Amino acid sequence: MSVNEIRWHPLLGTWVIVASGRATRPWRDATCPFCPGAPETGYGWDVISLDNRYPSLSTSPSVTSTPPSFSKLEPGYGRCKVVIETTEHEGDLDTIPFQNLVKYVDILGRETAELAEDPGIKYVAPFRNKGELIGVSIHHPHSQIYALPFIPLRIERELASMEGYYKDKGSCLVCDIVKEEELGERVIYRNRDFILILPYYAQWPHECHIYPRRHFQLLSQLTDGEKESLSETLLVAVSMYNSLFNFSLPYMMVTHQAPVKGHYPHYHLHIEFYTIHRYADKLKYAAGIEWGYWAFTYDELPENRVKELKEALKRAVNRLKERGYNLRGELIP
């Protein structure tokens, strides 16, 4: 029997997802389930959203047994979606047509709105894993969306931080970060609606964040113009990463948005990229101090990494121009 349940971690005050059916999911199979003509995808599409065949959460979950007295057990109710960004089997967000990117961003917003209508869903988590070193099981370019029955602990910490900052300063934390950093050395790129920045408080080697200039909470609140601007910022970020060491760089891309139940006016949506390469031939291994204590160490000055990324972006822009794409925003020297 496939089990989908969530178990309470009493020491951390958060839920752990248990999904036994995930153990049998395809692992880098020679037959791609996401290419056109596959049973799940069919034909006649360019960007498509599907239910995950091996979900961590289910709308009809099964549980195992009674939990011990120090913990709690709940059915693993939720939805897991896959968003396939292109019909091409290989590639990244900087190689697919720009209109695919715009459709991709639009789908993330529409899925957020639709999943939010489910009474059992409290949080919608869109993310993208890329590269075998990150653990990707299928190479075809795709992202995932988890609709969760709880608010993740990291989001709870952000909610508390942003609300506390507002009570103390009377303004939005992320809005103030954008204002102070926008003309500074850590900003890499900006267009009308978004900035790309290596944050002062980065934890991963070339970690970058995308911050909206407008204050809003959910992907479903993007305007049509912001969808295009965000698509371009994603294009810039990924192209920059793939130009950094001149190979296709593994990364994790996660959207932090507000919970879909409740009112969170102090929260400010943003997107974070985590990279594991310190150099072309050296990885950042998150080990005891990071996982055991959540105290990340940064093996360089973040400002030096910014210089590397700005040089990489210059190379990326030249490659984009060769493909006929001219950026609408500006590189920050």
pLDDT in tens, 82-111: 999 999 999 999 999 999 999 999 999 999
CATH number of 4-331: 3.30.428.10
Three-state DSSP at 123 gives: strand
Q: How confident is the model at residue 29 (pLDDT cuts 50, 70, 90)?
A: low
How far is 208 from 196, CA to CA, in rounded Å?
7
Kindly tell me if the per-residue pLDDT of 1 is higher than 80. no
Average pLDDT over residues 22-37: 78
Average pLDDT over residues 154-169: 98
Query: Which percentage of the chain shows pLDDT scores above 70?
Result: 98
Q: Give catalytic status of residue 142 as yes or no.
A: yes
pLDDT tens per residue, range 117-145: 999 999 999 999 999 999 898 889 999 99
Contact 204, 169 (CB under 8 A): no
Greatest distance between any 2 Cα atoms in the chain: 63
Kindly tell me if the per-residue pLDDT of 212 is higher than 90. yes
Candidate list 140, 142, 206, 270, residue with the active-site label:
142
The candidate with the shortest Cα–Cα distance to 268, out of 177, 133, 191, 144, is 177
The torsion region of residue 13 among left (phi > 0), alpha (psi -120 to 50) and beta comes to left
How far is 117 from 28, CA to CA, in rounded Å?
34
The domain segmentation of the chain, as residue ranges, is 4-331
How far is 122 from 258, CA to CA, in rounded Å?
10
Query: Which percentage of the chain shows pLDDT scores above 90?
Result: 89
pLDDT reported for residue 221 = 98
Cβ burial 160-176 (10 Å sphere, 16+ → b, else e)? eebeebbeeeeebbbbe
Q: Kindly report the pTM of this predicted structure.
A: 0.96
Residue 155 φ/ψ, nearest 5 degrees: -65, -40
Kindly tell me if the per-residue pLDDT of 191 is higher than 90. yes
Using the 8-state DSSP alphabet, how is residue 274 labeled? E
Kindly tell me if the per-residue pLDDT of 24 is higher than 80. no
Report the 10 Å Cβ neighbour count for 38: 14
Q: How confident is the model at residue 333 (pLDDT cuts 50, 70, 90)?
A: confident
The H or E element containing residue 50 is strand 48-51
Bridge-based pairing state of the strands 251-256 and 123-130: antiparallel
Three-state DSSP at 63 gives: coil
Q: How confident is the model at residue 2 (pLDDT cuts 50, 70, 90)?
A: confident
CA distances from 142 to 45, 171, 251, 314 (A): 14, 36, 13, 26
Q: Roughly what angle, to the nearest 10 degrees, separates helices 224-244 and 98-116?
A: 120
The sign of the torsion formed by the CA atoms of 138, 83, 162, 263 equals negative
How far is 149 from 169, CA to CA, in rounded Å?
32
pLDDT reported for residue 20 = 87
pLDDT reported for residue 28 = 67
